[in-house]
Amino acid sequence: TMQIKGSSVPDLKGSPMNVSVIINFKIVDPIRAAFAVDNVKYYIENQSLEVLRTACSRFNYKSAQDEPCLMTDSALIGHHMAGLLHERCLICGIEIQRMEIMEVSYHPEVAQSLLLVQQAQAKVDARKLIVKGCVEIVDGAIKNLNDKGY
pLDDT beyond 80 at 110: no
Hey, which bits of the chain come out as E strands? 2-10, 16-27, 94-106
Sheet holding 16-27: strands in order across?
Answer: 2-10, 16-27, 94-106
Mean pLDDT of the chain: 87
Q: For residue 108, what pLDDT is reported?
A: 67
The single-letter DSSP state of residue 91 is G
Residue at 11: amino acid letter: D
Beta bridge partner(s), residue 20: 103
Q: What band does 59 get if pLDDT is binned at 50, 70 and 90?
A: confident
pTM: 0.68
What is the mean predicted confidence (pLDDT) over 80-97? 94
pLDDT beyond 70 at 111: no
Please answer whether residues 15 and 97 qualify as being in contact, where contact means their C-beta atoms are separated by less than 8 angstroms: no
Three-state secondary structure call for residue 107 = coil
Alpha-carbon span 57 to 14, nearest angstrom: 7
Q: For residue 107, what pLDDT is reported?
A: 64
What is the mean predicted confidence (pLDDT) over 15-26? 90
Alpha-carbon span 116 to 112, nearest angstrom: 6
Complete DSSP assignment for 51-89 = HHHHHHTTSBSS-SSSS-BTTT-HHHHHHHHHHHHHHHH
The full length of the chain comes to 150
